[in-house]
Homo-oligomer: A and B are copies of this chain.
Amino acid sequence: MSTVKVISNILEANDRIARQNTAMFATAGVYVVNLMSSPGAGKTSLLERTVEALKSKLRMAVIEGDIQSSVDAERIGRHGIQAIQINTGGACHLDGNLIRDAVEELSLRELDLLVVENVGNLVCPAEFKLGEDIKAMILSVTEGDDKPLKYPLMFQESAALLINKVDLLPYVNCSVERIEERALALNPKLRIFRVSCTTGEGLDAWTAWLADQVSGKRPRDRA
C-alpha cells in the first residue's frame, strides 16, 4: 500500500511541473509532441522523415530521451535542426523536470514545433506528463496486434497512433485491422496512420496532419 502512495505523490509532483511547462510553451507559441513507443518501433526514423518533410515550413527542434548514449540526437542533428539529448541515467521515462531543464538549451520563441522522443517503453512514459500538446505513439507491426489489449494506457492517452513497418506485413503474423479495431475501442478519437519509415509509405498524411495541428496553435501574428 505504501508503494502506491509514493507513486501517486511522484505523479502529482510531476503534474505540477508539467502544467508550468504547458504555460511556458503556450507563451512561446510552440507546439509540443511527446512521441512514445517500445524500443525499436521507429521513433527516431519517424522523426528523421518528419524533419525532412517539415523543416522548410516549420522551425523545429527535437529533445531526445534515452537512458544513456547520444546516438539518437546525433542522427537528428545530421538533418540540420537542433537536437538536445537527455540521458536519464537509468530512469525508464522522461518527466516534466527533465524537459524543463532541457528546454533551457533552446530558444523556444524561435520554434514552431518541438518533438520530444521519449525513452523506448510502452508503459511508464504514458503516466508522466511533460507539458505537451499531444502524445503520439508508434506501434510497429512486428510487435503484434495484441498490444492494445496489453498496454492500454498509452493508446488511451495518445492523440495519434502510427502503425509503422507496414512494409513487413507480408512476413509477420499481424493484422493491422485488428490493431485499429482494438485501439479505437480504447480511444475512439485516436487518429491512426499506417506508415513505413523505410519506404516512406503513408508519411505524407502524417506530416500534413501534424502541420495542421501546429498551425492551429501558432499565435495569429506568426501564422
Contact = CB atoms under 8 A, between A and B. Distances in A.
Q: How large is the interface on A (under 10, 10 to 19, 20 to 34, 35 or more residues)?
A: 35 or more
B142 A69 contact: no
Interface string A169-211: 0011100000000000000000000000010000000000000
A26 interface: no
A168 interface: yes
A60 to B, nearest CB: 23
A35 interface: no
Contact of A143 (B40, B92, B168, B171): B40
Interface string A35-46: 000111100000
A18 to B, nearest CB: 15
A147 B40 contact: yes
B150 A39 contact: yes
A121 interface: yes
Nearest to A10: B3
A51 interface: no
Interface string A138-159: 0010111011011111000000
A124 interface: yes
A122 B168 contact: no
Given A38-B40, A143-B40, A67 B168 contact: no
Interface of A: 3, 6, 10, 38-41, 66-69, 71, 90, 92, 119-124, 127, 140, 142-144, 146-147, 149-153, 165, 167-168, 171-173, 198
20 contacts: A38-B38, A38-B39, A38-B143, A40-B142, A40-B143, A40-B147, A67-B123, A67-B150, A67-B153, A69-B149, A90-B127, A92-B124, A120-B150, A120-B151, A121-B122, A121-B123, A121-B124, A124-B124, A142-B142, A173-B198
